[in-house]
Structure 1
Amino acid sequence: MFRDKIPHLFLSERNYMEVTIEDISTVKKILHIEVPNDMVMQEINNAYDTLKKTAKLKGFRQGKIPRSVLERYFKKDVHADVSNKLLKDSFIDAVREKNLKIVGDLKIEPVEIDEKSPYKYEATIEIRPEISGIEFKGLNLKKNVYNIGEKEVEAQLKLLQKNLSQQKTIEEIRPAANNDYALITYEGLKDGQPFEETAKTENYTMKIGLGHFTKDFDDQVVGMKPGENKKISINFPEDYFNSRLANINIVFDVTLNEIREEILPEINDEFAKNFGEFKTLEELKDKIKENLTQGYEKRVEQEINEQIFTELISKTQFEVPETMIGYELENIIAEAERSFAYHNTSLEALGLTKESLSEKYRDVAEKQAKRHLILDKIIEQEKLSLKDEEMQEGFKKISEDFQQPLEEIKEFYSQNMDRLNYFKQTLLEKNAINLILENSNIENVEAVLETGK
């Protein structure tokens, strides 16, 4: 650990305070701040002078209460107020004088005032890393070119057809087979007792072969007939996706209620009318192709960005403040929770915790923080700024994307400075990426499209 004592004078009339900076890392510091006793006493005297004018005590006229009496009644409160003022003023001065770019919350160990001693305290802070000039020109990038044809459109139509499928009970009494839809009632017992993760569930529809629980479970449902009851013992593997079921044995009591088949609608003009204001199948196909094109354009952008930052991060060495990593992790976990909620599930239902996700995605969060820091440096290095028309175009795009009136979008951002600054920063980062692309060597490569089965 290296302690760098800096001759640092903060002038207040004839007084000064001293700041010693202790380096925990390149981005984490402890500020040791000492305010001289004469400055402390000056603040205490000022506080008592102010208090004397307003304090009311029985037996004394307002403004005439002796200092000794005020100290007897109000010393604790005065010291607390003076301590807060000294902390605030001295810390702000220290940060301003040393030009410390603090990120996140600071940690201050409060101390009590001693009228015979200097006022000393410690503040633990994190600062933005110092990044040297970034050489971003001349990157060699590969840009995938996705040519969307009839095959890709047909694959999307098949997915839409699947969404409109219906299930029909098979009247024939026969054993369940692979790819059948089975309507089952089940309850899983652990050591002979009910278990929360496999609680009794009635009329659950499963497609045999997809392995909702495990492949072994599905295999043992095969051959069952409607109305049949069966005990199915499953040993869940150690790496099972639901950690609450991993490496344990569950005995399922399963009843097959009925077997169903999937009925798919015919893909024609009538089919197309189910998906909006489409009169013909060709109109739906055109819209699918448009959506696919937009989706692949975003994919290309993501692929190019991944190449850019993989290259820049590899040759730009710096530490990332824990605060920034934590912020990115919060966003990742919040996005995961929104996605789970959309699919009617939750972290808890999947046997996950915020702590486990934080551990799993920490590296991703750190890389994301590094991306922002690198772009910030390029913005500063290249002196990038926003023109008013760029701001207006940005507002317009948000208005179109969210289908909200333009004036409402502008008002939404103008009412909150933090929100507006975040919006500006997003636009500046896009400009920085465009600048990198303009100065890169980009090779077009024909990509193979994934159409699924």
Structure 2
Amino acid sequence: PQDDMKAEGRPVELGGGRLLPEFEEGLLGKAIGEDIEIRVAYDDENPNADLRGKRALFKVKITDLRQKVLPELDDEFAKDLGEYETLAELRDATKAKLTEAAENKAKSSLREQVIEKLVEKNPVPVPPSLIEQQEQAMKRELAFLAQIAGPGFDFGESGEMRERAEKKVRAALLMGELARRENLNVEP
């Protein structure tokens, strides 16, 4: 057995989609105190390269069973959240937040499409040093995200990053030039 795959007292949620299907199926219908052996096969697409194409045997003992109980959706539930007096207020506020998020996403997508077309239609020479600076900034940001995400974080292809960095620099130069020509100022 591999020590890094051992876990004691670890809660496991069935039906959450986080477990291998064979593992989850091996637990279904079992009782507290039962010793179970579950065999799983990792596919060639597994994010953990060490597990790709391998088989494993898990020895499991069920020590406790719990069921999630969802609260009733009523005025008391809304009051427990602290900001609302009724379920209707909570629903209205949730609907407003979701609508605002969808609108912001649509605006952001449109803005990205416009900038992409501008960059495509207006080829601007870009100093390699600016591309290099942008690429390094993007790599630092990805490294930070990788620390948060943990093992298996995909950095993507190096060439893709350089291409994205160049597009960002071109877009920034074009937007700066447009702002200058149209005498646009950004104020806080």
Same fold flag (TM > 0.5) = yes
Is the 1:211–1:217 contact (alpha carbons within 8 Å) kept by the matching residues of 2?
A: no
Larger radius of gyration: 1
Q: Aligned AA for 2:140? A: E
Query: Cα offset for 1:336?
Result: 4.8
Q: Aligned AA for 1:194? A: Q
- Per the alignment, residue 298 of structure 1 pairs with 104
Matched residue count: 183
The yes-or-no answer on 1:237 pairing with 2:38 is no
Query: Cα offset for 1:281?
Result: 1.4
Query: Cα offset for 1:306?
Result: 3.1
Q: Aligned AA for 1:380? A: E
Distance 2:174 2:105 in 1: 26
- What is the aligned-residue RMSD (CA, Å)? 2.8
Distance 1:293 1:232 in 2: 45
- Per the alignment, residue 93 of structure 2 pairs with 287
- The 1:240–1:216 alpha-carbon spacing in structure 2 relative to 1, beyond 3 Å, is same
- The 1:362–1:228 alpha-carbon spacing in structure 2 relative to 1, beyond 3 Å, is farther
Secondary structure of the residue aligned to 2:73 is coil
- The 1:246–1:375 alpha-carbon spacing in structure 2 relative to 1, beyond 3 Å, is same
The yes-or-no answer on 1:330 pairing with 2:140 is yes
Query: Cα offset for 1:211?
Result: 4.0
Structure 1 stretches of 5 or more lacking a match? 1-192, 341-346, 395-453
- Per the alignment, residue 81 of structure 1 pairs with none
Write out aligned runs for 1:169-248 (5 A). Answer: 193-196=1-4, 198-207=5-14, 209-248=15-54
- Which of residues 364, 371, 378 is equivalent to 2:168? 371
- Per the alignment, residue 250 of structure 1 pairs with 56
After TM superposition, the score normalised by the length of structure 1 is: 0.36
Taking only the aligned residue pairs, the percentage that are identical comes to 23
After TM superposition, the score normalised by the length of structure 2 is: 0.79
- Per the alignment, residue 74 of structure 2 pairs with 268
- The 1:294–1:244 alpha-carbon spacing in structure 2 relative to 1, beyond 3 Å, is farther
Q: Aligned AA for 1:202? A: G
Q: Aligned AA for 1:379? A: G
Query: Cα offset for 1:333?
Result: 3.6
Query: Cα offset for 1:334?
Result: 2.2
Write out aligned runs for 1:355-370 (5 A). Answer: 356-357=154-155, 359-360=156-157, 363=160, 366-367=163-164, 369-370=166-167
Is the 1:328–1:365 contact (alpha carbons within 8 Å) kept by the matching residues of 2?
A: no
- Considering fraction of residues, name the structure with more helix: 2
Distance 1:372 1:282 in 2: 47
Structure 2 stretches of 5 or more lacking a match? none
Q: Name segments (4+ residues, structure 1) moved above 6 Å.
A: none
Query: Cα offset for 1:264?
Result: 1.5
Distance 2:3 2:53 in 1: 15
